[in-house]
Amino acid sequence: MAKVAFIGMGVMGYPMAGHLKVKGGHDVTVYNRTIAKAEAWAKQYDGKFAPTPAKAAEDADFVFTCVGNDDDLRSVTTGENGVFSSMKAGAVLIDNTTASAEVARELYAAAKEKGVEFIDAPVSGGQAGAENGVLTVMCGGHEAAFEKARPVIDAYARMVGLMGSAGAGQLTKMINQICIAGIVQGLAEGIHFGKQAGLDIEKVVDVISKGAAGSWQMENRHKTMNAGKYDFGFAVDWMRKDLGIVLEEARRNQAKLPLTALVDQFYGDVQAMGGNRWDTSSLLARLDRK
């Protein structure tokens, strides 16, 4: 059993912290900006909550963060009452936020100065993956710190991999989002085309999903997409945040991402339709609108 702090009780962090307590058997203290969520978690999981990130991280062996963006991450780490002000020497900070590679490298350097370890560890699998403890975790950082943290991360993960030095986890998550954007757009166009052609989408998918066109998105989202229901996971607002990070990094490293840039614009159209909180499969709604 380790002493663990978890900062950020959103739709991902809340169940992830729960797995650390129940499955991992760790002593977990949580912090959330809205204290009511931290209180609710502590009551549900018989855990503890703290009034500040620094207080949560006191004497912790492992500190997890899962917040909104780069600025939120800086606030709970290097900001006033951030975890770096109280983490003990040798402790490990594991950041599950989807953020920039730049802030990952910045926090890695800041951690080193404080005598603690930092691993950027963004996740894939969405809310369902977090609730079921089957997330994919892409890590960047020092190998020794990764090996130390991996058994703890395993409590909420199905796959955990060290991708390289600091920032490599975030860069891998960017590739993940690039691939998802293209797959979802292709699936949306395929379903839209089939409907326009008068085909039975269920029959079509039953056949093509067994061949080269098959994908997780097709298997898990074609029914809800065909029914015009888009309340099943990762929100458009979050995807646009992630694609913004991708495109900014691409400008920095001069990668050519024409399809990703186009799909990002398409998600902007979905937002304009009022679909900010629809899931990412709602690219079909853009095509089906009259």
**CA–CA separation, 161 vs 229, rounded Å?**
34
**CA–CA separation, 62 vs 219, rounded Å?**
36
**CA–CA separation, 65 vs 63, rounded Å?**
7
Catalytic residue among 23, 173, 229, 290: 173
**CA–CA separation, 198 vs 258, rounded Å?**
31
**CA–CA separation, 221 vs 210, rounded Å?**
15
Write out the DSSP string of 58-105.
TT-SEEEE--SSHHHHHHHHTSTT-GGGTPPTT-EEEE-S---HHHHH
Our answer to whether residue 173 is catalytic in this structure is yes
One-letter identity of residue 118: F
Annotated active-site positions, please?
Answer: 173
